[in-house]
Structure 1
Amino acid sequence: MSSPLRLPRSLRASVALIAAAGVVVGLGACTAEDPAPEVLRPVTAAPDAPLTVVGDADDSGASVAMSGSLFRSSPVAVLAPSGDVAAQELGAEAAVALGAPLIVAGSGAQPEIERLGSSGVLAVGDLAEDATSGLPDATTVVRADHAADVARVTGADVADAADADPAAAVARVAGLAAPDAGASPTPSAGSSDDALPSTAPAAAVPGAHALATDAGSSLAAVATARAAGVGVTVVPEANPDPRASADAVAALHEAGATSTIAVGTAYADDPTLEGRIRTAATGDQLPGGGQLVLPGKRYVALYGAAGTGALGVLGEQGPTEAVARAKAQAAEYQPFSDEPVIPMFELIATVAAGSAGPDGDYSSEVPVETLQPWIDAARDAGVYVVIDLQPGRTDFLTQAKRYESVLAQPGVGLALDPEWRLGPDQVPLKQIGSVSAAEVDATTDWLAGVVRDRGLPQKMLVLHQFRLSMIQDRASLDMSHPELAMLVHADGQGGQPDKQATWRALHADAPAGLAWGWKNFIDEDAPMLTPEQTMRDVSPVPDLVTYQ
């Protein structure tokens, strides 16, 4: 059975004198002559920095770090045992009701309570004796082992935890209503129910928002954020990138925070985190939701050029009709995919040419004005777009920069086709072209910079290949850009045994992290695979299937 409270020595003596005199009066009661007890409030503030990371691996350290980030002082603190999800969730409900930080027992807990200047501590759960023994004698410690105890002390409608699943508990705590700064003091002034100081929550901290993984170590920190009136967006520990979830992107955009507190070990020592949060806060959503191209989605594309069917099926109709065709083609794959299947255009922007042309590069550049209606139609219909470069004698970076205004738009990626990357004395169709890994790296580095500097969602970067020689020194490709999802597109055509052999050969010694694309040639394959066969017989299952 829980002990209801431990009073300071001076208060115990006062209670004894009152009882001896036969005076029936609550410890916090006041007479007509006595003023009501002072109602104390915590002092809170948002961190000055645009990003604060609470990356502690243990729940106690994370709780102390969050308390230090938001609370300058607090007349009351809530204390819960480490590793006990149910007790911490109960403590979270108490903390949010009181507008007080939730501290998890550990080496830093008592110093943090002293820093806060807390004269009252609500101790929840099965705490060791030494969890509070080092606090100053003047500190009042009230024990609350069960929901009924917490309800009595806080006046809140509190229930025992539904389960001990950490992720579910973190989500429930993040969803607790923020405390009302205008609510009656807790405990009520003059109450004799317990000995905690009479407190009321501070006003919600403006301009701050928390991003937290659903790990159990985040629970107390999330509770403290809610106690300070700070909104919390929870993401899976297994996929903590704030760009990955449509809900997270929407929540961060709606929050409009000037200061974000990131909670979770995944965020410790991550130099890209601030940029990813800033990107998520734009609210831009890619087709299928969120701001990541891959993983978690699959794509089915139509390949071709605007205004002509000679270069692929995409141009056999106008933009509106092409959208309908791409959606219908993608829908045929959905029954065979556990991931959402996104329709896509691969839109040729530069075409390898038989003549040198005015600039001598054997590549014809399609005007941006010709591409834009296709991009607009795709964007409005939830279709992803990749523009394709066939550079001739020039290099990929030079051509990509010509289309920066297109690539600066969300939902538009880039494809490099080395078959048409020629040497200074070469012409199209006389040989198979190739590109060095260094040239690819220069292009991806530039494109990643466009994404980063403009706060854009991740972009797909497609590398077409059907011979190993087409990408020289492929193993050395720079795969370090989180702004890009890099994909090798196997372009082999003909009989299925030959296509499968090409597929396997291209996978050999490929850099880790590459996604993979498969092309179904409508006229050249013998036979062309159906959607079911493509998903069943091609292994690993392709992330992108293109029709040409």
Structure 2
Amino acid sequence: MRETGTARLPGDFRLLDALPVVAGMEISQTAFSCAHEVGLAFGDDTAAMAALVLRDIQGPLLLLDSGVNANLVNELKRLGPERLDAAGIDGRVPRYAPPDLLVEQLPVTGGADSPPDGATHSRVWIVGDSEHAEAVARPVDVGVVAATGDLRALSPSARDAISGAAVVDVLTYHGENGAWQLEVVRRGDELPGAGLLLFGTDYANPVRRLIAVYGHPLTSALGVLGEQAPEQAVQRLRSIAEGCEADGLVVLPAFEIIATIASAGDDGEYSNETTKDLIRPWVEAAAAH
């Protein structure tokens, strides 16, 4: 029996095609020079792939789109496995396999899902459908996160997987905002009260109620914020917000600061901007509390 150890993808590897059938072959050819065992299933059979993940195959997972083809046969010959673990595949496979290859048919339970591995990975793929990607990724120690919308709305465990990885490959399109959303997740700096979305909808990004004092730091004519210094405003805001969380919402006290005042200035912009030095003590007071 040959021991191949844990296969790893090169650091500069980039998956060219996220389709499971193509991805499985590409990973096998890149990460495995040989393999003691190989998994085989149809690329659209999530229950079969889950069965192979449960089996903890110590080798690549090759997937079929319709039936056995020349690429599959050639890859099996190149890998030279001693055992082929087939899930959801009928008896046609042995006819195409090398004569000395042990073929084991694994039972498939309908509706089975790939179990979460709970591991920390140095490389993570962000995909649209984790059920298909998980099976081909796990043998090469790649984590998979499924995301179809705003990346900031991911669960804490998914965000931790992304922020803790050295390499993150985004294999599905997230629009023009995807790049900066990924950067926010990678930094991991949460908002007060948890999460990355100011107005969330679930436990990962809670629904917030903002209670604010409004105005300009230099005058009380534009709101109550200007009636006191920053530290005194914090205490006043706390008393205003008291009891507002009774219905279970996360209450987030805030300063709403007027940064520009309409004015016929000399610059022709009709806007008088408040200086950063004037606003900074309010920002620091908010951050401290």
- TM-score class, shorter: 0.7 to 0.9
Q: What is the aligned counterpart of 2:150 among 229, 236, 241? A: 241
Q: Does 1:223 find its partner at 2:183?
A: no
Residues 425-504 of structure 1 aligned to structure 2 (within 5 Å): none
- Give the Å deviation of 1:140: 3.3
Residues 155-234 of structure 1 aligned to structure 2 (within 5 Å): 164=111, 169-170=113-114, 172-175=115-118, 207-213=122-128, 215=129, 218-230=130-142, 232=143, 234=145
Aligned match of 1:129: 91
**Alpha-carbon distance in 2 for matches of 1:250, 1:308:** 44
**Alpha-carbon distance in 2 for matches of 1:128, 1:250:** 40
Post-superposition CA distance 1:413-438 (Å, at most 9, x none): xxxxxxxxxxxxxxxxxxxxxxxxxx
Amino acid at match of 1:363: S
Aligned match of 2:196: 291
Q: What is the aligned counterpart of 1:276 among 162, 174, 181? A: 181
Q: Does 1:262 find its partner at 2:176?
A: no
Amino acid at match of 1:373: P
Post-superposition CA distance 1:238-260 (Å, at most 9, x none): x54332236244432222x1x32
Q: For residues 290 and 246 of structure 1, do their structure 2 counterparts lie closer, same or farther at Cα, with a shift above 3 Å needed?
A: farther
Q: Does 1:140 find its partner at 2:102?
A: yes
Kept in 1, the 8 Å contact 2:7–2:139? The answer is no
Post-superposition CA distance 1:478-498 (Å, at most 9, x none): xxxxxxxxxxxxxxxxxxxxx
1:372 partner SS: helix
**Alpha-carbon distance in 1 for matches of 2:12, 2:5:** 21
Post-superposition CA distance 1:32-91 (Å, at most 9, x none): xxxxx5434475323526x647543xxx43752673586244412212345544432221
Kept in 2, the 8 Å contact 1:242–1:280? The answer is yes
Under a length normalisation based on structure 1, what TM-score does the superposition of the two structures give? 0.42
- Give the Å deviation of 1:313: 2.7
Kept in 2, the 8 Å contact 1:42–1:74? The answer is no
Kept in 1, the 8 Å contact 2:134–2:144? The answer is no
Q: What is the aligned counterpart of 2:49 among 77, 88, 111? A: 88
Kept in 2, the 8 Å contact 1:77–1:95? The answer is no
Q: Does 1:305 find its partner at 2:216?
A: yes
Q: For residues 273 and 360 of structure 1, do their structure 2 counterparts lie closer, same or farther at Cα, with a shift above 3 Å needed?
A: closer
- Give the Å deviation of 1:368: 0.3
Q: For residues 144 and 269 of structure 1, do their structure 2 counterparts lie closer, same or farther at Cα, with a shift above 3 Å needed?
A: same
**Alpha-carbon distance in 2 for matches of 1:379, 1:53:** 44
Post-superposition CA distance 1:148-205 (Å, at most 9, x none): xxxxxxxxxxxxx8x936xxx35x3342x58xxxxxxxxxxxxxxxxxxxxxxxxx8x
- Give the Å deviation of 1:305: 1.7
**Alpha-carbon distance in 2 for matches of 1:369, 1:283:** 28
Aligned match of 2:61: 102
Provide runs of 4+ in structure 1 moved above 6 Å: none
Amino acid at match of 2:131: L
Aligned match of 2:204: none
- Give the Å deviation of 1:322: 3.5
Higher relative contact order (CA 8 A, sep 6+): 2
Kept in 2, the 8 Å contact 1:304–1:313? The answer is yes
Q: Does 1:64 find its partner at 2:24?
A: yes
- Give the Å deviation of 1:304: 1.3
Report percent identity of matched pairs: 27
Kept in 2, the 8 Å contact 1:77–1:113? The answer is no
Kept in 1, the 8 Å contact 2:220–2:227? The answer is yes
Kept in 1, the 8 Å contact 2:151–2:182? The answer is yes
The CA RMSD over aligned residues, in Å, is: 3.9
Aligned match of 1:39: 3
1:141 partner SS: strand
2:255 partner SS: strand
Q: Which runs of 5+ in 1 are unaligned?
A: 1-36, 147-160, 179-203, 382-548
Q: What is the aligned counterpart of 2:254 among 340, 344, 363? A: 344
Amino acid at match of 1:173: P
Kept in 1, the 8 Å contact 2:126–2:144? The answer is yes
Amino acid at match of 2:3: V
- Give the Å deviation of 1:226: 2.8
Max Rg structure = 1
Q: Does 1:118 find its partner at 2:79?
A: yes
Q: For residues 234 and 269 of structure 1, do their structure 2 counterparts lie closer, same or farther at Cα, with a shift above 3 Å needed?
A: closer
Under a length normalisation based on structure 2, what TM-score does the superposition of the two structures give? 0.73
Aligned match of 1:48: 12
**Alpha-carbon distance in 1 for matches of 2:86, 2:242:** 53
Q: For residues 304 and 219 of structure 1, do their structure 2 counterparts lie closer, same or farther at Cα, with a shift above 3 Å needed?
A: same
Kept in 1, the 8 Å contact 2:32–2:79? The answer is no
